[in-house]
Structure 1
Amino acid sequence: MTDDSAKKKLLVAKQQLDKLSIFIASMAEFFQGSTPKIDEDLNAIKKLLSGKPDYQAAAELSVKLNSDLKNEAKYIKQQQLNSITQIETSLRKLNEIEAIDESVKSEIKLFLQNLSPSDNNISSPIGTFEKALGLFRKALSNNKVNKSHNEAKQQKQLHQQIAQELKTLILPYVKNNPNDKAINEIREKLDEGLNPSQLLECCLSLIRFVIKDVINEAGAANKLIHNIHQSLLKVNQGIKSTIEKSKVRIEKRVKQTADMQAQISAIETALTDSHKVEDLKQQAQHYLTKMQASLTQSEADDRIEQEKMIALLQSMQKRLSELENKAAGYKQKLLEQRIDALTDGLTKLPNRVAYEEKAINEINHAKQSNTPLCMAIIDIDHFKSINDKYGHSVGDKTLQVIATQIKNNLANTDFVARWGGEEFVVLLPNTQSNDAFKKLDIMRNKISKLPFMFKGNRVSVTISIGMLEILSDMRLEDAFEKADKLLYTAKENGRNQIQRKESHD
């Protein structure tokens, strides 16, 4: 080998060592921060390989560093396994949340199936983390959307419920004040549909009407009470006056009786003392004349007193009759108001207030008599689409027809009320669950076959029902909530059906 050839090979070897030194320095920077001991050895190697390299010392140190790096690789792999296990656990818990969208759940499931650490990869599972974080973001974002959607849906349902309640509440005012422009405007707005601010304005307006009506009613009641008080005061004054006059009359009678007694005594004396018949006749005639005058005056006084008494009694009777008529009219008005307060203006069925009164009484009776009591909540299927497609007047007519059909298919002892909107609540006292189910199912089937015609189109209207038997230990609110959930189940399962809960369930 020539010297030039040797020098060339040495130069090539030096260049390769320089490249290797640069690579080792870069690797040292990559592993920087693993552990303090490895950091110390890596810094030492970098120094040995920089400037005037000491390859011998660097080679000796690299043997020790190689051993430490193998141990560190095992530690990093274990850390990777632990991290992946944590990711897997977190994603599985995330997948159990009901609110998460099904498409995101499918992505999570697929990701979990493909999730496995690589035996050759000792670095942190950055890609895995990034994908897992992406799935978490999707799930959380979707959950927010669902939450926002659910809140909006609940607000819309509440808005519709309030609007329907207002329509029900305003009907008596429309009936009693058909020419009131403000009341008719509110009703028209409710029929057309309102935004939240308009609905609030309607609520305030109706509250003003209610307060005004209460004030007017209180004024009428006060006026009636005042009239009764004045009449009773006059009657009392008349009675007092009569008592006082009676006392004077009694005193006068006593005096007249005393006078007559004195005259009789005088006659007796005259009979005893008189010796002549003629004198006796004259004296007797004189005293008899005086007695006759006293009796005539007494009779006249009695007649005048009786006439006054009769006039007073007639006056009292007239005033009491007037009061009786006023009280009867007020009683009738109160009765009509109570009937209106307990009756749904549109369907003429009992309303929610009447239902609550009736339900409490029926539950107490069922407990005392140990008899069964069933409850059912009925809802008209797709009622909103009827309103939207054919108008509120058609929707109102549909409610009236359905209400009549429900009532006609129940016994006189059963009870049905309009709960609100397109919902009705039924109480079936002294009725076993199976019998109640049969009765309601016949009703459901008949209603589904009614020939509804909307704007020339034949439309089938159906109902869904949630039914249960009220147990002795159930509160009314709990029973209604359970029946409402059964109704929801009936709607979820396709509508036009009854979902029931047996008493032993």
Structure 2
Amino acid sequence: MTNKQLQVLKQQHALLAQFIIRLSLFYQGYSKAIDEELQTLRGHLGSNANFTLAHVSINKLNALLQEDGGVLRRFKTDTLQSVEGAAKALLATSGKANANTSIIDTISQARRPAESLYDVTQLCVQTITLYSQVTDTLPKPVGVAVKSHSNEPLQAPATLLMALQEELVQLLDTYQKRLPDNTELTILKQKVVEGLNNDELLNVCLTLLRLIVKDSMQEAIISGKVIQSLHHSLSSLHQGLNKSIDQAHCTFAVQQDDNLAMRKELIKLENDVARSDSFSALKTQTQQQLKQVGSALEKREENDRLAQQALSGQLEALKAQVAELESKTRYYRNRLAKQVATSQTDPLTKLPNRQAYNEHLRKLLDNRNINEQSLCLAVVDIDHFKSINDRFGHSAGDKTLQVIGKQLSKALDDNDFIARWGGEEFVLILPGLNAKSLKQKLERLRTRLTELPFKFKQDRLTITASFGGTCFSHGEDPDAVFERADSLLYQAKRAGRNCVVTDKDDV
């Protein structure tokens, strides 16, 4: 390599090092462990660059980034669900039409997967801005002067606080199922149930967020250990196979040497017979040669026996390693299946949750593109659910949700699907129906619920629900269909509750 080429290569290395340093500064603040390793990498790429140490540091960063990838995805999903819950609660308090449109748009954005963490942050800022706009338009208490620059914290409306608290209770229930021995979760839930002001609500949210991040990090560590264990087992299996192959090659080489030695003895015997003039001398030479051949055969037989014994031992070891690997694979497969089932099950009603709904609907729509099967969707909301919580307590409200969910599930067909959407809302996926049969089926479900014998503290109650239902058009976006069903549900609420409204009705 010429001096000029060497100089160009050095300049390219320096340019690449500067680019990596600037890129690492861009990601500063994402994670403490990653920040520390990036700082180390910048040191290796400074004025006296050490590319060997930089390579080691890059490998460590790859491992850290791989572990944090799953944590970041779960964080984005949890944050989007929180934003959606907060936006829906804000929608219930807003009275301005233009604000409602913006809030509905925010809810729709929160239901779509976020491309980046920046998108999640932007959506959070958008929700906070909407919150400020809505609270500014709310009527102020009579006789209370509101100062724009007051040092007193602004209190959120009671309805908004109640909606946020219900979302928090549901989220806490989910994590209590996963962490039943965590006393901190029990204390947090008790605080939420008793009621919170703005500051207390913020503190609970922050504490819960820390628990979520901590739990996500523990899941990432467990996943890393699983991969490491399987990698170790596969490496041991690979080493055993290589050892068996090497042993087979060695045995074959020994056999080749033995064959060559016997071939030489036979050639020598043939030559001695050809040259010998004395029968006595020929007999003696023949006996000596045969004795040597016999010794060679005995040696080969012993070598074959030892090789067979070694190969049998290696095969037994490989068999044990394969059995261990299969056992680990079954264990981790079952564990993963349980985790998936837990992550897709609502802890209170034991029904599928929103994540399971999204997965089930995606599969149905993929099959529908092939089979052209009709598909309908309905949103169900328990009427006056807040009054049940207020009059009889949250335990009565929880029991109501469990009974309603169970009755709806029992009344559905095998191909139908039900999930708890959140709060007192359920969502139904109903294949094979048209607009007319959808209306009839939802009416049967509504009637079934009104006939349930509820009794709280010696008081008999009739629990009713409102239904909004619609059918998919070919190629229609699932979020748009859900929004339409949700809008029809609100029409049912405005029509007096305890009724069914589909997109073929005039309300």
Query: Would you say same fold, with TM above 0.5?
Result: yes
2:370 matched to 1:372? Answer: no
How do 1:130-169 residues align onto structure 2 when only pairs under 5 Å count? 147=139, 156-169=158-171
Structure 2 residue 436 is the aligned partner of structure 1 residue 434: yes
Please state if 1:320 is matched with 2:322: yes
Residue of structure 2 in register with 1:181 after alignment = 183
CA distance in 2, matches of 1:473, 1:275: 102
Work out the CA distance in 2 between the residues paired with 1:503 and 1:328: 52
- Maintained 8 Å contact 1:235/1:316: yes
TM-score of the superposed pair, with normalisation by structure 2 = 0.65
Say which of 265, 277, 280 aligns to 2:282: 280
Tell me: CA distance 1:502–1:321, structure 2 relative to 1, closer, same or farther (3 Å).
same
Matched, 1:407 2:406: no
Q: Matches of residues 441-460 of structure 1 in structure 2 within 5 Å?
A: 441-460=443-462
Shift of 1:385: 0.9
Counterpart of 1:428 in 2: which secondary structure? strand
CA 1:481–1:252: 2 relative to 1, 3 Å: closer
Alignment map for 1:387-426 (pairs within 5 Å): 387-426=389-428
Letter in 2 for 1:307: Q
Residue matched to 2:222: 220
What is the CA-CA distance between 1:189 and the residue it aligns to? 2.6
Letter in 1 for 2:182: D
CA contact (8 A) 1:172 1:340 kept: no
Q: Distance in 1 between matches of 2:454 and 2:323?
A: 54
Residue 500 of structure 1: aligned partner: 502
Instruction: Indicate which of 298, 301, 324 corresponds to 2:300.
Output: 298
* AA partner of residue 428 (structure 2): V
Q: Give TM-score, length-normalised by structure 1.
A: 0.66
Does residue 352 of structure 1 match 2:354? yes
Q: 1:473 to 1:379 in 2, by over 3 A?
A: same
Flag the 1:344–1:185 CA change in 2: closer, same or farther, 3 A: same
Give, in angstroms, the shift of residue 277 of structure 1. 4.1
Provide closer, same or farther for how the CA distance between residues 194 and 460 of structure 1 changes in structure 2, counting only shifts above 3 A.
Answer: same
**Cα separation, 2, equivalents of 1:171 and 1:159:** 18
Q: For residue 208 of structure 2, what is the amino acid of its counterpart?
A: L
The one-letter amino acid paired with 2:197 is: N
Amino acid at match of 1:483: A
Amino acid at match of 1:389: R
Quote how far apart the aligned CAs of 1:193 are. Answer: 3.3
User: Structure 1 residue 448: deviation in Å?
Assistant: 0.3
1:444–1:230 CA distance, 2 compared to 1 (3 A):
same
CA gap of 1:187–1:253, structure 2 versus 1, over 3 A, is: same
3-state DSSP of counterpart to 1:411: coil
Native 8 Å contact 2:468 2:500 kept in 1: yes
Distance 2:479 2:486 in 1: 10
- Report SS of the residue matched to 2:326: helix
How far is 1:414 from its partner? 1.2
The offset of 1:194, in angstroms, is 2.9
Q: What amino acid is the match of 1:312?
A: Q
Identity of aligned residues (%): 35
**Aligned partner of residue 171 in structure 1, secondary structure:** helix
Deviations, residues 412-438 of structure 1 (Å, cap 9, x unaligned): 111111110001111111201111111
Structure 1 pair 415/254, CA: closer, same or farther in 2 (3 Å)? same
1:238-262, Cα deviation, whole Å (9 max, x unpaired): 3334444433333322221111011
Match of 2:209 in 1: 207
Q: What residue identity is the alignment partner of 2:470?
A: L
* CA apart distance, 1:460: 0.9
Q: Deviations over 1:459-484 (max 9, x none)?
A: 11111111222333643222222222
Q: Which structure 1 segments of 5+ residues have no match?
A: 1-97, 100-142
| Structure 2 unpaired stretches of 5+ | 1-94, 97-134, 142-153
Query: How many angstroms apart in 1 are the aligned matches of 2:238 and 2:472?
Result: 57
Query: Do the aligned partners of 2:174 and 2:346 also contact (CA within 8 Å) in 1?
Result: no
The whole-number CA distance in structure 2 between the counterparts of 1:345 and 1:413 is 23
CA distance in 2, matches of 1:504, 1:275: 125
Match of 1:379, SS?
A: strand
- The residue number in structure 2 matching 1:468 is 470
Q: Deviation digits for residues 134-189 of structure 1, max 9, x if unmatched?
A: xxxxxxxxx9886559xx99955554444333333333432333222112222333
Aligned partners of 1:271 and 1:280 also within 8 Å: yes
Task: Please state whether the residue corresponding to 1:495 is helix, strand or coil.
Answer: coil
Separation of aligned partners in 2, 1:327 and 1:223 = 13
Structure 1 residues 320 and 397 mapped into 2: Cα distance closer, same or farther (>3 Å)? same
Change (3 A) 1:188 1:297: farther
Give the distance between the partners of 2:321 and 2:163, measured in 1 at CA.
Answer: 50
Q: Is the 8 A contact 1:366 1:429 kept in 2?
A: no
* Matched residue SS, 2:258: helix
The amino acid of 1:319's aligned partner reads: Q
How far apart are the structure 1 equivalents of 2:329 and 2:361?
Answer: 32
1:289 maps to 2:291: yes
Per-residue CA deviation, residues 281-308 of structure 1 (Å, 9 max, x unaligned), is 3322222221121111112112212222
SS of the counterpart of 1:324?
Answer: helix
Q: In 2, Cα distance between the equivalents of 1:503 and 1:295? A: 97
Residue 363 of structure 1 deviates from its aligned partner by: 4.1
**Distance (Å, rounded) in 2 between the aligned partners of 1:467 and 1:217:** 39
Q: Deviations over 1:349-395 (max 9, x none)?
A: 11112222333443454455444322211111111111111111111
SS of the equivalent of 2:426 reads strand
Q: Which of 472, 478, 481 is matched with 2:480 structurally?
A: 478
In the alignment, the residues of structure 2 paired with residue 309 and residue 315 of structure 1 have an alpha-carbon distance, to the nearest angstrom, of 10
Q: How far, CA to CA, are the matches of 1:153 and 1:335 in structure 2?
A: 44
Task: Tell me: CA distance 1:302–1:155, structure 2 relative to 1, closer, same or farther (3 Å).
Answer: farther
Residues in 2 aligned to 1:438 and 1:249: alpha-carbon distance in whole angstroms: 79
Q: Counterparts of 1:328 and 1:241 in 2: how far apart (Å)?
A: 27
In structure 2, what is the Cα distance between the partners aligned to 1:165 and 1:281?
Answer: 104
Alignment partners' CA distance in 1, 2:218 and 2:409: 36
| Structure 1 SS opposite 2:376 | strand
Between the aligned partners of 2:306 and 2:160, the Cα distance in structure 1 is: 76
Q: Which amino acid aligns with 2:203?
A: E
Local SS of the residue matching 1:426: strand
Distance 1:466 1:154 in 2: 30
Query: What is aligned with 1:263?
Result: 265
1:417–1:425 Cα contact (<8 Å) kept: yes
Which structure is larger by alpha-carbon Rg, 1 or 2? Answer: 1
Aligned residue pairs: how many? 363
